[in-house]
Amino acid sequence: MPKYTLPTRDALLKAMQVGETSIEAAEYMATRFEQILTKAKLLPECNDMLEKIKEYAQFVKFKLLSSAQVWSGQERPISDYQNTQENKAEFLASHLEGLPSGLKLEVAIGDDAKILRGFSSNGKMVEGDQLKTMDGLLEGWLAKNNLAISGGAVVKIDNTGNQTKVDPEEIRKLINDSEKGVAKYFADKGVSTEVVQRAYPETKAVETKREEIRQEIESGAEAPTTQSIR
């Protein structure tokens, strides 16, 4: 049986640098790595690494694709970040199979622009891959409005990637805007979502709840049900 030599860490890193220059190079790297693992019968053991490589290739695709076409009359994204997030949102929107009905986004914006969010479906928390999809769409909405999340807070981001503080009241109004709001953006992607804004809990209240739950767990009691915002 022939022996197969797996790429070294340095070789993979160099391949990733080359892959950043084109979608084809990134996709070839992912495909080639999978072929090597398959032939070496190491796919199960190295599947996590393979998934990371595939995720990287997808990221390169999101970054290099233009989410606006000149001949369509669409406004071009102002930055690589905005372009990447919009392409990611488009990709997620095209893979919505199995997404539950009755979706609700509960969101709270603090006076320091800190953000808490929770997705639910018919009263049950949305988790796993479905949560990743919803979060990806939310990130797309933020990017479309020249916003991002940094350190748990919403910030403005310009076409060079510089971040500046944003007025929290401006965000709250934007969330529910009939034309630029979250619900409209999600609907345009094919996802019907109810958006509800909540009051941002004070730090002391959060710490009190955390301590309450910790004591319940230590005493062996069942933890109380928490709100969907987290």
Split at pLDDT 50, 70, 90, the class of 11 is confident
CB 38 within 8 A of CB 30: no
Residues 49-100: pLDDT tens digits? 888 888 777 766 655 554 333 333 344 444 566 666 666 666 666 666 667 7
Residues 95-120: pLDDT tens digits? 666 677 888 888 889 999 988 888 88
Is 223's pLDDT higher than 50?
Answer: no
Q: How far apart are CA 101 and CA 117, in angstroms?
A: 18
Q: Rounded to 5 degrees, what are φ and ψ at 141? A: -65, -45
